[in-house]
Amino acid sequence: MSHDLTSPPMMHCTCWQGGEPVRPGVAMTDLATGLYAHGAVMAALLHRHKTGGGVHIDCNLLSSQVSCLSHIAANFLNAGKEAKRWGTAHESIVPYQGFRTRDGHVVVAAGNDKQFIKVLQLTELTQQPHYNTNKLRVHNRQQLIHTLSQGFLQEKTADWLRRFEGSGVPVGPINSIQEVFSDPQVKHNNLIQEVKHPTAGRVSVPGDEGCHHSHLHGNSLSPPSGPAVRYSSFGPVGPTPPPLIGQHTVQVLRDTLSYSDDIISELLEARAVAQNTVS
């Protein structure tokens, strides 16, 4: 059985410090496996183009999730260091986490000492010797985060974003789903797509990579939704809704498997296959 929850190492390291394991808000392993499979299919097609030979692809949830453990896996494999739960914080970089503001939250990622000095300047805090290096900041994490947290509470999220603009410190708001789809950049990127479903009517879906017009082969392929990836010389075709069960039975038998109309009719009459007539 394949399921996002059957390979749970990601849950082990996701939660507030000292808390119970928490499932990520979306099925990250399912998504990662799909992306790995996508890349594998592209590599297999290139291999076929170069050699004429086919490739068997093995892409599973367990392998995909283990490969996504990144530095957490490296810390264990090379230093025997078991993963801990840090909430929004980073295990080995401080400050690199979310902070509550007067009206919401921001996430700040001071990945080096120069960026940290900017954080201190922008939060109007005085630099202290025991915060001079990241190693010292990790050692004094609790005190530093408490001090920064009190500072971020003094102003609204929008005010902090203005302060950090142009500073070189990665910072951004932690948006609600409503705020995400109200964002001008999301709308500009056309990441809200509409599809016409045969039974549900018009349905909105988020942008996805999908498939694209191919000028090389003259084919028109249909993606599941909108353009998360854009290309300079060709664009995405319009999104298509998820198919109904049996919606494309005849099309697959005829166009993909090259069955004759007589054989298809026999299969339908024998109820070996079914064609959904909803259009």
Fold for the domain defined by 96-174: formyl-coa transferase, domain 3 (3.30.1540)
Tell me which of 30, 113, 183, 208 is the catalytic residue: 30
18 compared with 222, residue with greater pLDDT: 18
Question: Could you report the per-residue pLDDT of 102-116, keeping only the tens digit for each?
Answer: 999 999 999 888 888
Question: Could you report the per-residue pLDDT of 227-236, keeping only the tens digit for each?
Answer: 677 777 877 6
122 compared with 84, residue with greater pLDDT: 84
What's the mean pLDDT in 54-78?
93
Closest CA relative to residue 81, chosen from 69, 90, 72, 89: 72
User: What integer pLDDT is reported at residue 225 of this predicted model?
Assistant: 39
Cut 0.85: pTM above it: no
User: What integer pLDDT is reported at residue 220 of this predicted model?
Assistant: 35
220 compared with 143, residue with greater pLDDT: 143
- Domain borders along the chain are 4-79, 96-174, 175-242, 243-279
What's the mean pLDDT in 25-52?
94
pLDDT at 3 over 90: no
Q: For residue 8, what pLDDT band results from cuts at 50, 70 and 90?
A: low
* Distances 32 to 7, 228, 279 between C-alpha atoms, Å: 13, 15, 33
pLDDT at 219 over 90: no
Query: 262 catalytic, yes or no?
Result: no
270 compared with 116, residue with greater pLDDT: 270
What's the mean pLDDT in 157-184?
93
